[in-house]
Amino acid sequence: MSDVTRILEDLRAGDATAASRLFELTYAELRRLAAVRMAGESGGQTLQATALVHEAWLRLGGDDPQPWQNRAHFFSAAAEAMRRILVDQARRKNAQRRGSGTPAVPLLDFEIPVVATDDDLLEVHEVLEALNRVHPEKAELVKLRYFVGLSLEQCAEVLGCSTPTLKRQWAYARAWMLRQMRGANSS
C-alpha cells in the first residue's frame, strides 16, 4: 500500500492533519506533472506550474478535500482539476480575442500538440467531453496523458491497468478524437 493510499485512509477516518500531509507528499509529483504540461503550452501562457498545482489543490477542496477512494482516484481528480483550469483560462483568453478576425486553422493530424494554442485546447476539450460520454475510461486516459503529461506506464499505475491495454485504448482514443476533430473542421 502506498503512502498516498495510507494518507487517503487517514483522511476518510477524519484525521485533521491528513489533508496537509497529502499535499506535502504529492506536491512534488503534481508540480512536476504541471511543469511538463505547462512546458507544452503556447508562449503566451501566463499560468505557471506552481500556480496550476495550487489552483488544482484548491479545486480539490484544499485543506478540506473530499475523501478519495485511492491513489488513482486522487490523481484522476487532480488531472481533471488541471484540465478544467487550463480550459477555463483558454476560454477567458479566447473570449478576449473573439471577433479579431483570426481564421480557424484546421488540425490535419492529431498527435497531441506539444504547443497548444487556446483554440486547440478548447477543441480538444470539446472532443474530450464527447469521448467521455461514450468511452469514459478512454477519456480518463486522455486526460492523464494530455493534461497531466503522464506516460502510458504511469497511467497504467494510476489506473490499475496493464500498459498494453492502455496502448490499445490510447490508439483508439486518438483515432476517435481525430475523426471527430476532422469532422468538425470539414463542416
pLDDT beyond 70 at 20: yes
Distances (CA, A) of 127 to 30, 89, 108, 162: 25, 18, 15, 25
Backbone φ and ψ for 116, nearest 5 degrees, come out as: -105, 130
- Identify the pLDDT of residue 111: 47
Q: HSE-up of 52 (CA within 13 Å, CB side)? A: 32
Of the ranges 14-18, 58-62, 71-75, 162-166, the best mean pLDDT one: 162-166
Cβ pair 48, 38 in contact under 8 A: yes
What rounded mean pLDDT belongs to the chain?
Answer: 79
Looking at residue 136, its pLDDT comes to 93
Other Cβ atoms less than 10 A from the Cβ of 183: the count is 10
Helix (H) or strand (E) holding 89: helix 71-97
Where exactly are the structural domains of the chain? 3-185
More confident of the two residues 118 and 129:
129
C-alpha cell at 123: 477543441
Position 141 pLDDT exceeds 70: yes
Residues 167, 174: Cα–Cα separation, whole Å: 11
Q: Exposed e or buried b for every residue in 89-107, given b needs 16+ CB within 10 A? A: bbeebeeeeeeeeeeeeeb
Q: Tell me, what's the pLDDT at 113? A: 44
Taking 80 as the threshold, does the pLDDT of residue 171 lie above it?
yes
- Tell me the per-residue pLDDT of 64-121, one tens digit each, with 9 for 90 and over: 767 778 888 888 888 888 888 888 887 877 766 654 444 554 433 344 444 467 777 7
pTM value is: 0.54
- Which residue type does 55 have? E
Q: Which residues pair with 41 in a beta bridge?
A: 116
